[in-house]
Structures are given as C-alpha cells and as structure tokens.
Amino acid sequence: MLNSLEIKNFRILEDFRVSKLGRVNLIVGKNNLGKSSVLEALRIYAGNAHYELLKQIAAGHDEKYPMKKTE
C-alpha cells in the first residue's frame, strides 16, 4: 500500500504531492486539472513502465510522437 504520492513533470502535473494516503482515496476536481494524469501515473508505476502500457496510454490521448521499443 502506498503511504504518500509524488508526481513531477508528468502531463499537467509539475509538482503534485499527497503526503498521507488512506486505504481508500477519492480524486475530485474540475475538468483538466490532472485527475486522469494522477491515475495514469499510478498505472505506469504499478506496471513498471512497461512499453506496451506506455504506448496504450499515449494512444488514448491521440498523442503524436514516435515511440519505439528499446532493449
């Protein structure tokens, strides 16, 4: 279980911190404030930044930049 969360320079989140997380946490806010970015960052963390996961997240945002797998 995560006790705290820090996300830097990911999408709209320049320096996002939550110092105390509970067993259940609710993310609320207006549109375009970074709620989905927090969830995507957690998904990347949980998936150990696997190439296919990163590609899937980028495709879900119609982001147009080249991605190529390196070993």
**pTM of whole model > 0.75?**
no
Give the pLDDT score at 27.
92
List, for residues 10-45, the tens digit of each pLDDT value: 888 999 999 999 999 999 999 999 999 998 888 888
Q: How many CB atoms lie within 10 A of CB 40?
A: 21
Give the pLDDT score at 42.
87
Contact, 54 vs 48, CB < 8 A? no
